[in-house]
Structures are given as C-alpha cells and as structure tokens.
Amino acid sequence: MIEINAIKCHIGGMASITIRNLDESTKQALRERAARNGRSMEEEARLLLAELEQGAGSVEVAASGRPQAGPAVAARPSPEPAISGFPAAGKRVLLIISGGIAAYKSLDLIRRLRERGVRVRAVMTAAAQQFITPLSVGALTADKVFTDLFDREDEHDVGHIRLARDCDLVVVAPATADLMAKMANGLANDLASTALLATNRPVLIAPAMNPAMWSHKATRRNAESLRRDGIHFIGPMAGEMAESGEAGEGRMAEPMQVVEKIGELLDTRPKPLKGKRAIVTSGPTHEPIDPVRYIANRSSGKQGHAIAEALADLGAEVILVSGPVSIPDPKGCEVVRVESAREMQRMVEAALPADIAVMVAAVADWRSKGEAKEKMKKEGGKGPSHLELTENPDILKGLGHHKQRPGLLIGFAAETEKIVEHARAKLERKKADWIVANDVSPDSGIGTTEGGVMGGDRNRVRILTREGVEEWPELTKQQVARRLAARICDHLAAVTATA
Ligand code: C5P
C-alpha cells in the first residue's frame, strides 16, 4: 500500500485535483484509506488537502474538473461555528434544491446552517439550476454540488446511494409540487428523486409553490401520503408570493424557520425534563392609567425568556406567560401574551397544574385605582392629576398558597441592598422554594457598558434555598438560564430518588 504521504505529495503537487486524474496506485491507496475511515474518496482527499493546507499554505481543490459540478474551493478544516449551542452542530445535512423561485432562500439556508456548525452537501435538480447556479451553492457549502444521476465520476467516487445515506438528515428546500409528487409515488428518474428513494435518513421538506398548486387535490393527496410516510414538513407559509399579485398559502418557510426545524429534528441532547410541565413568567406588566398611559417596571424579558427556552431545551413542556416585550419568542415554548398583573395571574393559574414554576416577571406592584376611560387632560396651571393607586395581586405568593401549588416554586428578587436578607424574607413570605436574587443597584458593576442588569445581557445571581445560599459568578443571562435549568433537573432527580 502506498504511504499516505505519497498521496499528499501527489495531491499537493496539483493546484486543483480531479480524483480521476490520479495515477492508479495513488487512487487505490486513497480508496482503501477512504473505506477504512468510512468516507468517500472525495471526502478523504479533501481532508488530506485540509491537513496539507494547515502545514503548507493554501491549496486549491476542485473535486471534479467539470465546471458545472461546483466551483474550485479552498479546502479548510471544519471551522469553529460562529454561533454556538445549535443542537445540530457537527451533523451532516444533504440539501436537495428543487426548481422554484424560492431556491434563492436555499442559499441563505446553507449559510445559516454552516455558521451553526452543520455540514451541508447539496444536490440540485436540473430545474433548480435555472434559478440559482451550482457555482453559488458550491461556494457556500464549500463542497462539490451533485447534479447528475449518471455521472461516471460521482458514481465511482460517492455514488447516489452513499450520497443519500452519508448524512444525518435530508432536507428538500424548496420542495416543488413536482418533486413532492415524485416522492409520494416513489419515482426515481433523476439524482434528487433517486437519493430521496434510496435514503434511510429522516427527510424534511419545505414546500414552495403557487397557492393554486398547493391547494390542488393532487398536491393535497401527495402531501398526505408523504406525511403518512413519516416525512417531516416545515411550511408552506401564507403570504405574498414572489410572482407579483399572487398571495396565499405556498410560500417557502424562511431559512431561519427551516434551521430551527432542523435543530429540533437533529437534537439528540438528553431530555431529563421530558414529561414535566413548567410555567414561566417574564417581562414587565403594564398597568393602564388611561388609554395612553401606564405604570410599569423596567424589564426586557431577556432573563425570563432565556429560562423558558433552557427548560424547553431539556424537554419540559413550557408555558411562558409574558408581559409586553420586544424580544423574539423563545424556541419550543407555548407563549401566552398578557398586559396587566391581573391578566398575568389569570393565565398563570389557568396553566396549572405544573411541576415547576419560575416567576421572573417584574410585575408592577400597584395599578391605578379606577382606570380612566378617556385620556386624562393636562389642564394649564392646575398641576398634575391626583393618581390613586391600589395593590396588584402577588402572583408568586398566590401560587405559594395555592391548592395546586407547583412542586418546585421559584421566585426572583431584584434588590439594590441587603440582598440576601430581603430575598430570605421573600422566600418565607411567598412560600417559595427558591429565590434567585440579583443585585440591580447601579454600583453592582454588572453590564455597566450595556445599561446594567435590567435590559443588559449579563447577570450575577445568588440562589437562596431552604438549605443555604449559592453564589454564582457573573454570567450571561443565557448561562444563568441553562445553569438554573440544570439545577432544577438535579433537584427533581434528587427528590425522585428519595421518594
Ligand atoms: O416582592 P417582589 O416584587 O420583590 O418579588 C419578586 C418576585 O415575586 C418575582 O419572582 C416576581 O415575579 C414575583 N411577583 C409576582 N407578583 C407580583 C410581584 C412580584 O409574582 N405582584
């Protein structure tokens, strides 16, 4: 067998390689090494080039000499994902692009997946190449683009069966009515449909077509068959079509919606909170004074939303009851939007029973007694109107004393002084199990560059339990959320163990 250095030497001597052009003995050595590592020859060659590149500067690689099969790309070792924590990071997606105007969205989809550490290999139908080029797709995947079923070189190197299975998920985006019809009927007359018939991996499709085509009985039948066959769907969405003057159901889901669905399907992280139900409150409440004015506390909702998402990530069924905020909904949660404290309390209590409740909302303590139906007028020289306040219900305290009290009840305490002392009193008064206390005083030194804890992205908390106080270091709000969710898991596991 030829030494691997010889392969490197052969490959390294070329500005651009075609496996077909390697001499027989080098090809054989590459074939054996690829088989040993469970990779295609092309993949193996790319990895070798990547190694070479690290040691000896840049090497241009074109896995095929044929220009339509993808651009010459510089082989690079897998970069660190620019966005960390994506559940499908490190996984491989085979993206099948079929021919519709929405094909342009697949370019963005590739970028969003790659920046999250997902490897993307693309297959394009002939029609897809009428809308976008293999050159742009290949530049974004940094891999060869597969277009032909009867390609001697591809078949020798990767093969359509291997292509269909060397991945964790097959994604069809956009999925045209034509490709859906082929899939539903088991047709295999081009590379895309053959790979879809040959794959043993889960398949996700993002249909995109004119609303009349989507609502046609034939498409409805095909979609139904595909659903029964276990094909996953994302969209289509309702809205404006790319064709002018057309609107309805048929738009391809936006790339980030497809990304989220892919993350969900490929999420193999453990789900220790599966079967548990959690209620989380977040954001401020707005207490109306008149139709245009309200009383509120400062709160961005960032911490509460992050906690809801962290609990959902661990498998909990999460109901997030949120006051008015301007941040996106957390993933994987049912979101109930409210305005006032009384509304929040109603929705929290309607969501009972629950195993876990985390009350993060900055609920306004008071509301105006008797909300004015008309805008209160500023009358010159008379000074400000008198505002009579009345106390709002305490939602946390209500839950603490409720006959359906959640198994683990957690409150928050934003304090500016005597933090532990005040938080401990709150724990007792509201019958909570834990209080997460944070210092929101201007001199807490946290997030000073971004406007303090409230509205900022960082937090330093103490967890008060009946056993004692845990001091956590300064963390991002996401980190606090993940750590709290993990702490909740440990607690519930310990409770189950002693039960
Ligand atoms: O009493 P204080 O507002 O400092 O208590 C903070 C904790 O109580 C937080 O968990 C907050 O969500 C909750 N709370 C509530 N209803 C209120 C006031 C506070 O649930 N009306």
Find the catalytic residue in 21, 189, 297, 459.
297
Strands (E), 384-433: 389-391, 408-415
pLDDT band at 413 (very low <50, low <70, confident <90, very high): very high
The pLDDT of residue 243: 73
**pLDDT score for 154:** 65
* pLDDT, tens digit (0-9, with 9 covering 90-100), for 151-165: 766 666 567 788 899
Which atom of ligand 1 is the closest one to the Cα of 410? 10
Pocket test for ligand 1, best of 320, 358, 396, 424 (most atoms within 8 A of CB): 396
Same fold, 78-265 and 277-368+388-498: yes
Q: Cα–Cα distance between 422 and 436 in angstroms, integer? A: 11
Q: How far is the CA of 411 from the centre of ligand 1 (A)?
A: 7
When the candidates are 3.40.50.10300, 3.50.50.60, 3.30.200.20, 3.10.20.30, the CATH number that belongs to 277-368+388-498 is 3.40.50.10300
Confidence class for position 140, pLDDT limits 50, 70, 90: very high
The pLDDT score that the predictor gives to residue 446 is: 57
Q: Residue 10 phi/psi, 5° resolution?
A: -60, -50
- Would you place residue 415 in the very low, low, confident or very high pLDDT band (cuts 50, 70, 90)? confident
Ligand 1 atom nearest the C-alpha of 341 is 21
Q: What is the pLDDT of residue 198?
A: 95
pLDDT at 380 over 80: no
Q: Which atom of ligand 1 is nearest to the CA of 392?
A: 21
Q: What pLDDT does residue 375 have? A: 85
Residue 451, pLDDT score? 52
Cα(351) to centroid(ligand 1), Å: 18
At 352, list the tokens: 């009972």
pLDDT (0 to 100) of residue 27 = 78
pTM summary value:
0.69
Q: Which two tokens stand for residue 54?
A: 């690290």
Residue 393 C-alpha to ligand 1 middle, in angstroms? Answer: 9
pLDDT band with cut points at 50, 70 and 90 for residue 334: very high
Residue ranges lining ligand 1, Cβ < 6 Å: 281, 341, 359-361, 363, 365, 392, 394-396, 411-413, 426
* DSSP-assigned beta bridge partners for residue 458: 476
Give the range among 375-384, 397-406, 420-429 with minimum mean pLDDT.
375-384
Q: What is the pLDDT of residue 89?
A: 94
Q: Break the chain into its structural domains and give their ranges.
A: 4-70, 78-265, 277-368+388-498
Query: What's the gap in Å between 360 CA and the centre of ligand 1?
Result: 8
Mean of pLDDT over the chain: 86
Please say if 297 is a catalytic residue. yes
pLDDT at 110 over 90: yes
Among 3.40.50.720, 3.40.30.10, 3.30.70.100, 3.40.50.1950, name the CATH number for the domain at 78-265: 3.40.50.1950
Q: What is the DSSP letter of 60?
A: E
User: What pLDDT, on the 0 to 100 scale, is given for residue 70?
Assistant: 40
Nearest-10 crossing angle of helices 255-265, 103-114: 50
How far apart, in whole angstroms, are the C-alpha atoms of residue 337 and residue 311?
19
